[in-house]
Amino acid sequence: MADNPAEPSKSALKKAEKQAKQAAEKAAKAAKQAALPLVGGKKADDIIGMTVSKADNFSAWYQEVVLKAEMVEYYNEISGFFILRPASMFVWNTIRKWFQEQIETLDVEEASFPSLLSSKSLEKEKEHVEGFAPELAWVTKAGDKDLENPVALRPTSEAIMYPYYSKWIRSHRDLPLRLNQWNSVVRWESKQTTPFLRAREFLWQEGHTAHLTEELAGEEVLQILEFYAGVYEQLLAVPVVRGRKTEKEKFAGGYYTTTVEGYIPSNGRGVQGGTSHCLGQNFSKMYDVKVEDPTPKEGEKAGHIHVWQNSWGLSTRVIGVMVMIHGDDKGLVLPPRVSKLQVIMVPVGINKSTSKEDKEKHYDEMQTFKNTLKKVGVRADYDTRDGYTPAWKFNDWELKGVPLRLEYGPKDAAKSVVSFARRDTGEKGTIEIASLTTEIPALLEKIQSDMYNKAEASFRSHRINITNWDEVVPALDARNVVLIPHCLAEKCEDKIKDLTTGNQEEAAGPADAKAPSMGMKSLCIPFEQPEGIEKGTTKCLNPECGALAEKWCMFGRSY
Amino acid sequence: MADNPAEPSKSALKKAEKQAKQAAEKAAKAAKQAALPLVGGKKADDIIGMTVSKADNFSAWYQEVVLKAEMVEYYNEISGFFILRPASMFVWNTIRKWFQEQIETLDVEEASFPSLLSSKSLEKEKEHVEGFAPELAWVTKAGDKDLENPVALRPTSEAIMYPYYSKWIRSHRDLPLRLNQWNSVVRWESKQTTPFLRAREFLWQEGHTAHLTEELAGEEVLQILEFYAGVYEQLLAVPVVRGRKTEKEKFAGGYYTTTVEGYIPSNGRGVQGGTSHCLGQNFSKMYDVKVEDPTPKEGEKAGHIHVWQNSWGLSTRVIGVMVMIHGDDKGLVLPPRVSKLQVIMVPVGINKSTSKEDKEKHYDEMQTFKNTLKKVGVRADYDTRDGYTPAWKFNDWELKGVPLRLEYGPKDAAKSVVSFARRDTGEKGTIEIASLTTEIPALLEKIQSDMYNKAEASFRSHRINITNWDEVVPALDARNVVLIPHCLAEKCEDKIKDLTTGNQEEAAGPADAKAPSMGMKSLCIPFEQPEGIEKGTTKCLNPECGALAEKWCMFGRSY
């Protein structure tokens, strides 16, 4: 369940992010105040939109958009914690429902283990625990009494669950055991936190399974990874690269880690999307999870087999990746499949001179459209707020990322059409009312696939195979991630990071102008390998390495 | 969100419960060991069922059944915590899905707030917080550093959420605000814990809403209460009485509390089923949640209105109530609607003399039944475990509470029928194979309604209207709850509890033989009031009270 730590933020970066957050909060406050006069029934045409441009200051833009689109709220009481508002929870629940259906096809069952673990159970698995120890939150008191044995909030549940796997698995008939839980975990990060991307508490699912053989475990690892890819590609319209983590980046205490890796075009950083780990027999040996060998060699007494375990997790981080990739200077852009509201209808051409009767009739028609669309599975609504101009409403719904806007006025009615505007491209047109039930679902699907294709083209064109070391840093500076022939050794990775770390601390300017100073780390060894590595001939690209290359490895600056 | 504290357990009761737990664990261990030889392929006919009778020792029976039916596991690392296994999580997720659909019709949205609250936010609402203070778990350290400001695990989220309601609600247009979250809460109970019924951590949903008027808030309180009643009556086949809590028993800091109250026939105790609270303006005044009055008096400047708030919660306690009511000496009995497996098919008449071909053909037919049933929405499976006799399998599935067993052997095949046995009544019969798709769903619905009707008849006959004080304690001893004319005063309730508390501490015997010594408390003021109270004439039944009766109030020994 590793969220591999990204680069420590530079102090200047921290400062810039803080400023961005303050700017965003100030803007939001201004927005609220600007909205207040409306209570008295006055008309307000203030456009309360984004104030920061995505290109100019990406991290400030991000913080502003998640706040203003009402995805999150900062939890001021305890730093590093965030409130997920309904717009985010709808996305998460859509993912949850979809993923749940997938894992049920594998007969994964749901369980709920306690959120606390004892210090005693932590002592079992040193390598795994060491990785989390600095981030453990400790409960030491209940009421006004000190606890005899302090307990920690779970950062992940291996140490909580596996003692019971040992109890429950007594025979090969109990295998596979596949349990998943949907919960929240707490990791008291000392690094700069960012909504969705890095928080001290986040929602996720964690699956923990046990199998009789390495092969069976390995099969599941890849099935789950493919589901994770599906969450990104099919729901969030985000392309990912499937691959395996290097030894350096794999889950602490595991056997191997597979991953889906995303890419943020605005700053050229890679972002870990979700990881599916084979733990091998490491944990089953620690926790003594074993069964009698069901197929002993002929004539021999059956020995014991320690089970092969997997664990796999996907967190609310996915929402942040989606926001970063699709959003624009007007605000959030949501893929239709995960948007609570897919279509917002805005009445136009209705003004003071419109009679009450005409207005009611017009709204009734829009209600009919809403009902009609609901029948074909489209989540639509119409905006009848008084005292706001259509332009104000357009901006408001664009800020919130609703994929499709329909405008409907007396002129449209006369022609039996509605006018539409796509959130992703701005493209406009008209649709005949008689065709709403076929055209709207088709258009939403078109938006979904166009959003994916655009992001996919961007990732593909910024994933560059490099065989000349001198091209690496310029490629990173041009916001690419790179595939290089690599020896896969841990030490070499450390060296590569050093070699690619710049010294631009002094440079002024906003946070993202500074990102290029960050060294690159390995993102994954893609399953899909380019040609060109000749075993025993091709060398590792690191000029100070000298070893032979094993694989093309994807490196990049990253979250 | 009050789980009103029940009676402190007597020390003897505690001891008996501990013994019961130990007995249950020992039995479970024996069961596992007995199963072990099967690994080697040997036949085992040990019937690994219940060892305690429900009538003889109810609390030991309960602890044995939840363990052996694999509903829960005790979390040995930290006392008072339990692991919910897939059988429980299926029940909870069924409830979750159903309840979620209901609240979506009210436009309740989902949110996720942090699980931690700062000591500062606790200071706002004294009355509410005092009730929870002794049960708060405090995080004082992160990694090896002491936190500057300790934070507590949420026991409920009013103090976490309402500061943001104040931020988000700026105009009456923002009302109603209706948010719900599905999460877990921690209350470090010092009382004896019991799986589902009282645990230091439990799953629940907590809804928190804000409205413009008392009337609108009150309307929702009752809508939600009806959903809670639906969870019990429609899903769990458990009858409940709807009513209002007395001042003494209402949610601390709230305005009024409505509740659904259940009844456990085995010991005659009442059990609080779920509570829907109107908080009035108490919290909105503390947290300054207010809007400008949208309809000020003519000619006057608009003043401010503090919003009317509700909160409502339903926890995994519901599962415990279901187990207690329906279970029997063979184990768990699950209502079909919440049972993961509704039909278990067991092959019979297949033995060593059956040819491999015949056996495969027989299993293929059962696979066909399974597929056929799946198409009509029935969750069915068949048990092909080798080395177990049909009798062993019958017992195993009865222990786990599967509502309907189908037996199928060559003799049945010859007659084109399957034999069935109902888990709830033991009734047996045959069904023609050609009618499976209609008969099985109908039979499952019959089981569901019969289970409800049986429990309902039991509750009805043990809910006794009493107008003579001397009959109260004998009625309690006969495992009834009682409705009595009552003044509704808090002091009088305290007195009634004293008057009905027995002194049987010395009595030997198992835990439940001791229950009668417990005093009674008010369960609710039922909405459905019997006749017979004449305003200004009828007196409170408490002989030491002397005040006039306000309402029929339901009292009982309780959880």
Mean pLDDT, to the nearest integer, of B218-232?
98
Residue A315 has pLDDT above 50, yes or no: yes
State the nearest Cα–Cα gap between A151 and chain B, in angstroms.
8
Contacts with A301 (C-beta within 8 Å, 6 or more apart), sequence order? none
Residue B33 has pLDDT above 60, yes or no: no
B109: closest chain A residue by CA: A86
Nearest to A512 by CA among A323, A268, A329, A318: A268
Torsional sign, CA B295, B296, B302, B303: negative
H or E segment to which residue A208 belongs: strand A201-211
Mean pLDDT, to the nearest integer, of B162-176?
95
Helices (H), A169-243: 214-230
Mean pLDDT, to the nearest integer, of A214-239?
98
For residues A25 and B98, the model is more confident at B98
Chain A residues whose beta carbon lies within 8 Å of the beta carbon of residue B44: none
A203: closest chain B residue by CA: B112
Residue B32 has pLDDT above 60, yes or no: no
Report pLDDT digits (tens) over B298-307.
Answer: 888 889 999 9
Q: What per-residue confidence (pLDDT) applies to A301? A: 82
For residues B547 and B35, the model is more confident at B547
Strands A521-526 and A551-556, bridge-based pairing: antiparallel
Return d(Cα B252, Cα B132) in angstroms, integer.
9
Q: Across the interface, which of B35, B118, B171 has its CB nearest the CB of A170?
A: B35
Share of chain B above pLDDT 70, in %: 88
Residue B85 has pLDDT above 60, yes or no: yes
| Chain-chain contact of B114 with A81 (C-beta, under 8 angstroms) | yes
Residue by residue, what is the 3-state secondary structure of A502-529? CCCCCCCCCHHHHHHHCCCEEEEEECCC
| Chain-chain contact of A75 with B114 (C-beta, under 8 angstroms) | yes
Q: Across the interface, which of B136, B150, B167 has its CB nearest the CB of A143?
A: B136
Chain A residues whose beta carbon lies within 8 Å of the beta carbon of residue B86: 109-111, 179
A240-244 long-range contacts, CB within 8 A, separation 24+: A240/A273, A241/A459, A241/A463, A241/A523, A241/A524, A241/A526, A241/A528, A241/A554, A242/A524, A242/A526, A242/A527, A242/A528, A243/A523, A243/A524, A243/A525, A243/A526, A243/A527, A243/A554, A244/A524, A244/A525, A244/A527
Q: What per-residue confidence (pLDDT) applies to B21? A: 62
Mean pLDDT, to the nearest integer, of B68-86?
96
Architecture of domain B336-455: 3-Layer(aba) Sandwich (3.40)
Place of tokens 């009088």: B492
Q: Across the interface, which of B135, B184, B292 has its CB nearest the CB of A143?
A: B135
**Which pLDDT band, with edges at 50, 70 and 90, does B199 fall under?**
very high
**Which pLDDT band, with edges at 50, 70 and 90, does B27 fall under?**
low
Return d(Cα A312, Cα A99) in angstroms, integer.
12
Q: Across the interface, which of A151, A167, A203 has its CB nearest the CB of B78?
A: A151
B177: closest chain A residue by CA: A86
Mean pLDDT, to the nearest integer, of A233-237?
98
Q: Across the interface, which of A78, A90, A160 has its CB nearest the CB of B116?
A: A78
Chain A residues whose beta carbon lies within 8 Å of the beta carbon of residue B134: 143-144
Nearest to B60 by CA among B510, B534, B516: B510
In degrees rounded to 5, what are phi and psi of residue B148?
-65, -45
State the nearest Cα–Cα gap between A109 and chain B, in angstroms.
6
A134: closest chain B residue by CA: B143
In degrees rounded to 5, what are phi and psi of residue A150?
-60, 150
What does the buried/exposed string (b/e) look like for B332-370 if buried means 16 or more CB atoms within 10 Å of the residue's CB?
bbbbbbbbbbbbbbbbbebeeebeeeeeeebeebbeebb
A6-20, A191-205, A505-519: the lowest-pLDDT one: A6-20
| Chain-chain contact of B114 with A201 (C-beta, under 8 angstroms) | yes
Residue pair B403/B336 in contact (Cβ under 8 Å)? The answer is yes
Q: What per-residue confidence (pLDDT) applies to B352? A: 85
Return d(Cα B307, Cα B217) in angstroms, integer.
9
Chain A residues whose beta carbon lies within 8 Å of the beta carbon of residue B179: 86
Q: What per-residue confidence (pLDDT) applies to B446? A: 98
CA distances from B357 to A153, A551, B360, B361 (A): 55, 51, 5, 6
Return d(Cα A456, Cα A450) in angstroms, integer.
10
Q: What per-residue confidence (pLDDT) applies to A3? A: 41
The token duo for B482 is: 């009682």
Q: Across the interface, which of A40, A120, A138 has its CB nearest the CB of B141?
A: A138
The DSSP output letter for A212 is S
State the nearest Cα–Cα gap between B85 and chain A, in angstroms.
5
Average pLDDT over all residues of chain A: 90
Q: Which amino acid would we find at residue B439?
A: E
Chain A residues whose beta carbon lies within 8 Å of the beta carbon of residue B116: 78, 81, 186, 201
For residues B19 and A234, the model is more confident at A234
The DSSP output letter for B38 is G
Chain A residues whose beta carbon lies within 8 Å of the beta carbon of residue B203: 112
Chain B interface disruption, residue of A139, A201, A388, most B CBs within 10 A: A139
Intra-chain end-to-end CA distance of chain A, in Å = 16
| Chain-chain contact of A36 with B170 (C-beta, under 8 angstroms) | yes
Chain A residues whose beta carbon lies within 8 Å of the beta carbon of residue B143: 133-136, 188, 190
Q: What per-residue confidence (pLDDT) applies to B232? A: 98
In degrees rounded to 5, what are phi and psi of residue B242?
-90, 135
Residue A437 has pLDDT above 90, yes or no: yes
State the nearest Cα–Cα gap between A88 and chain B, in angstroms.
8
Mean pLDDT, to the nearest integer, of B535-552?
95
CATH class of this structure's domain B10-326: alpha beta
- Whether the complex's predicted ipTM is more than 0.85 is answered with yes
Q: What per-residue confidence (pLDDT) applies to B37? A: 36
Q: What per-residue confidence (pLDDT) applies to A295? A: 87
B40: closest chain A residue by CA: A294
A363-372, B229-238, B449-458, B502-511: the lowest-pLDDT one: B502-511
B409-418 long-range contacts, CB within 8 A, separation 24+: B409/B347, B409/B348, B409/B349, B409/B350, B410/B349, B410/B350, B410/B358, B410/B362, B411/B349, B412/B348, B413/B362, B413/B365, B418/B345, B418/B369
Return d(Cα A508, Cα A430) in angstroms, integer.
48
Strands B137-142 and B145-153, bridge-based pairing: antiparallel
Residue B541 has pLDDT above 90, yes or no: yes
Chain A interface disruption, residue of B112, B189, B191, B292, most A CBs within 10 A: B112
CATH topology of domain A463-556: Translation Initiation Factor IF3 (3.30.110)
Chain A residues whose beta carbon lies within 8 Å of the beta carbon of residue B112: 83-84, 88-89, 92, 184, 203
Mean pLDDT, to the nearest integer, of A330-345?
98
In degrees rounded to 5, what are phi and psi of residue B375?
-65, -30
A78: closest chain B residue by CA: B118
In degrees rounded to 5, what are phi and psi of residue A358?
-60, -40
A107-116, A346-355, B29-38, B112-121: the lowest-pLDDT one: B29-38
Intra-chain end-to-end CA distance of chain B, in Å = 16
What are the residue boundaries of the structural domains of chain B, listed by start? 10-326, 336-455, 463-556
| Chain-chain contact of A170 with B32 (C-beta, under 8 angstroms) | yes
Q: What per-residue confidence (pLDDT) applies to A18? A: 62
Q: Which amino acid would we find at residue A505?
A: E
Mean pLDDT, to the nearest integer, of A56-78?
96
A274-283, B17-26, B342-351, B484-493: the lowest-pLDDT one: B17-26
Instruction: Write down the number of H helices and E strands in chain B.
Output: 16, 23
Chain A interface disruption, residue of B77, B79, B183, B384, most A CBs within 10 A: B77
Average pLDDT over all residues of chain B: 90
Mean pLDDT, to the nearest integer, of B266-289?
96
Report pLDDT digits (tens) over B341-394.
Answer: 999 999 999 988 899 999 999 999 999 999 999 999 999 999 999 889 999 999
Share of chain A above pLDDT 70, in %: 88
Return d(Cα B433, Cα B415) in angstroms, integer.
9
Return d(Cα A465, Cα A487) in angstroms, integer.
16
Q: What per-residue confidence (pLDDT) applies to B90? A: 98
State the nearest Cα–Cα gap between A300 and chain B, in angstroms.
13
Q: What is the pTM of this model?
A: 0.90
